[in-house]
Amino acid sequence: MKRLILLLLVMGIAMSLFAQTIPRSQFQFAAGNWGWSGNRLVQNDANASLAKANILSLPQNGIMNYRFNMRHEGGIEDGHGGVGIHIFMDTALNAESWGAGNSYLLWLNYDETPSVAGGAQSGLTGQVYKSVNDSQMSLLYQQSFNEYLPFLIQSGFASRDIPVNLMVNGNTGEVRLYDPTDPAGAVYFYFNLRDVDRQASLPLRGDYVALRTNGMRVSFGE
């Protein structure tokens, strides 16, 4: 139960994707075990460490709003799991990969025993990775979200889909991740890609997005 609640916490603060209704033909299942259950996209392999579903032909520039909901479907019994999205991708490799072309990965990670060499913090963290190609990616920034655990448990996230709302300004690098418990969208977590990546090339542009999971089963919907 503890790990399940922690996983739901990850999803409660998680990153979003669907800015519009996307035809199923635009989804490319590159790694993991993906499929459709009704109107929900599901990653069914709890053991997949590099699960990836590319979304093709999704031009991004200027201010982008990524919205969708997520639901825990299983996994994370080993004390580790993650979920996130690559945004502003310039390529979409139809195969398993660590990185995803030139892009940024916005990631929520839960790890009870993180690797010291990997640099990840213990517990729940929000992380920003910079991908330079399909095999190279570096951790730019992370912040602990462990303090949100009591609040999110009390909010009843274990019984419903988690709405997520992410705004990225490709011109300035500003990123806002809105609180899923605030319907007015007044509360958000803020950071600037330009501040965490001194080599950031603005304005950001890309033609693809990818949904990612690590060590858990997750479903996604509009």
pLDDT in tens, the chain (222 residues): 344 334 434 433 333 345 457 889 999 999 999 999 998 999 999 999 999 999 998 999 999 999 988 887 888 778 888 889 999 999 999 999 999 999 999 998 888 777 655 566 777 788 999 999 999 999 999 888 887 656 555 554 555 677 788 999 999 999 998 887 777 888 888 999 999 999 999 999 999 999 999 999 999 998
Overall domain count for the chain: 1
- Tokens 């992410």 label which residue? 166
Determine if the peptide bond prior to 203 is cis (ω within 30°).
Answer: yes
pTM of the prediction? 0.86
Cα–Cα distance measured from residue 155 to residue 111, given in angstroms and rounded to the nearest whole number:
22
- Tokens 């007044």 label which residue? 186
Residues 6+ apart with CB under 8 A from 208: 54, 55, 56, 57, 58, 86, 89, 90, 91, 92, 100, 101
CATH of the domain at 165: 2.60.120.560
What's the pLDDT at 72? 78
Which range marks the domain in which residue 202 is found? 2-221
